[in-house]
Structures are given as C-alpha cells and as structure tokens.
Amino acid sequence: MSATSGLVHLVDDDESFRGALARVLTAAGFEVRTFGSCGDYLLRRDNGEDVACLLLDLCLPGPSGLDLQQALVESGHKVPIVFLSGEGTISASVQAMKAGAVDFLTKPIDAVQLLAAVRAAAAARTRERAQRERAHAWQVRFSRLTQREHDVLRHVVTGRRNKQIAVALGVAERTVKAHRAHIMQKLQVATVAELVRVAERWYDWDEGRSDRLEQIAEP
C-alpha cells in the first residue's frame, strides 16, 4: 500500500474491540492509533498530527465520549468525530450530533458503514483543510493592502463609484482608479463582482460579524 487514506484515532475501553476495529481500518488503508480512555487520549495524542477522523466510544469509564467531545470543541480542536455506541440512546445521539459529530454508529459496527463514515469524515476534513488553506491565502493577500487601499475597498464594497470615493476621500479620481488596480492585483481577483464578494466576507470576519473566515473561499 503506497500512502494511507489518513490517520484515524480510536478511543474505546474494550481492548479486543479496539484491536478488531483497528484491523478493519488498517485493511482499508487507514493508519490507526488507539486509546483506552479519554485521559489516555488527551495525554498521548500528538497535537501536530493531522487526524482524519476520531472514532469515539460513547460509553467510557470515567469521562464519557460526550465529555471528550465537549472538551475538544471548547479547546478549538475541530477533529471530525464519529461516535460508537453499544446502546444507541436517542438523547445521547442527538446531543452528540448537535455538538458537531459527523456520524453515530451502533455496535456491532458494520465495516461498510464504518468505512463510509470514516471516509466521509476524512473527505470533509480534506475539504475543510483546503478551505482553510484558501482562507489563509486570502488572509495573506489582504494583509498586503495598505491602509489607503482598505479605505478605498470599503467604499467599493458599499457600491460607490470612483468619483464618489474620490470626493469622500478628498483625492483625485485618477488616484482612486490606481488604488483599485493595485487592490485587484494584490488580491488576485479578476472581476469587480468577485472583489466585492470576497471583500464583504473579509470585513464581516475582520470586524467580528462572522467567525468563519473559511467562508471567504466558498463560491
């Protein structure tokens, strides 16, 4: 097998089950790291690792799977979680899904369902990562704009014409045109429509009206 399909973390207190599930994932091309409890996971996991999916047992001795999910959400770790549960209580699954779980599988776990869920989580993870990278790229581009260029851009976003902007800023219309050209170049956008869409989202995020910078990369 050349490259793995991704790294999967598995938290379950049953050793035999951990081993069996790891075998399925390994056979399907995933790399697997297993943990016996939430504490074990928090202590031993490597923060730098790019984890495609966390398979998390709902019912664990000590802190439960839901407790760990809560802790991860609060600390900003956005790993996709697929819950595994023996009992499959509705209230627990609702709570898990509300807190952002990707899927909720009931034991015994069917390999087809498991791999579908893990692959979906991995794909979502990849997609998310790509978005994040694109968002990061926008961040870099926006950081290159000067204060004056930002002033011009804010007026552009509100739909004002060059002449109006020139009056508002007290500069020549020609100067505004030059700023606009620089902005288009620095942000690497081809059309005014794209410029307006991107800039709108950027300022929403920058001024705290939105907490998702990633949306800037969405079409």
Partner 1 sequence: MPDLDPCFEALLTHLSAAAMGMSTRNVRPGLDEAAGRMIRFLELDGCCMLESPNTAKSGIAWRSVTYPSQDRDCPLLDSDLEWLSPRLWTGETVALGSIPQEHGRRLKSLLAFPLATSNESRQAVVFWATRIRGEWTPILIARARLVAQMLAHAGAHRSTWQKLQMIEQRYTDLAESQADMVCRYLPDTTLTFVNHAYCRFFGRERGELVGRRILELIPESARQYALDAVSKMAGERCTSTTEHEVLLPDGSIGWMRWTDTPLIGEDGTVTEFQAIGRDVTERRRMEDSLRNLAQASRLAMVGELSAAITHEVTQPLSAIQSNIDAIGLLLGSDSTHMPSIHTILEDVRMDVRRATEVVRRVRTLLRNPELKPELLDIEEIAAEAVRLSGLEARRRGVNVMFHPGNTDAQVFADRICLHQVLMNLIINAVQAVESQAEGCRHVTVGSFSHGDGEVGIAVRDTGPGIAVDDLPRLFDAFFTTRKDGLGLGLRLARSLTEVNGGRVWVDRNAEGGTTFGITLPRPRLAACKAPPLSSGHSREDAA
> Which residue ranges make up the site for partner 1 (CB under 8 A)?
1, 14, 16-17, 19-21, 23-24, 26-28, 59, 61-62, 86-87, 107-111, 114
CB of 118 to partner 1, least distance (A): 13
DSSP code at position 159: T
CB of 186 to partner 1, least distance (A): 50
Beta strand residue intervals within the chain, DSSP E: 7-11, 31-35, 51-57, 81-85, 103-106
Structure tokens at 219: 């079409």
CB of 113 to partner 1, least distance (A): 10
Amino acid at 185: Q
CB of 31 to partner 1, least distance (A): 15
Query: Residue 28 or 97: which CB sits closer to partner 1?
Result: 28
Query: Residue 49 or 87: which CB sits closer to partner 1?
Result: 87
Query: Residue 8 or 114: which CB sits closer to partner 1?
Result: 114
Query: Residue 9 or 201: which CB sits closer to partner 1?
Result: 9
What's the Cα-to-Cα distance from 218 to each of 93, 139, 202, rounded to whole Å?
30, 14, 12
Is the bond leading into 108 cis (omega within 30 degrees of zero)? yes
Buried b (16+ CB within 10 A) or exposed e, 24-41: bbeebebbbbbbbbbeeb
CB of 17 to partner 1, least distance (A): 4
**Tokens 């923060």 map to which residue?**
47
CB of 64 to partner 1, least distance (A): 10
Query: Residue 61 or 100: which CB sits closer to partner 1?
Result: 61
Query: Residue 116 or 137: which CB sits closer to partner 1?
Result: 116
Distance, in Å, from the CA atom of 73 to the CA atom of 5, rounded to the nearest integer, reads: 25
CB of 116 to partner 1, least distance (A): 13
Sign of CA dihedral 145, 216, 159, 194: positive
Query: Residue 110 or 133: which CB sits closer to partner 1?
Result: 110
What's the Cα-to-Cα distance from 20 to each of 12, 25, 34, 37, rounded to whole Å?
11, 9, 11, 17
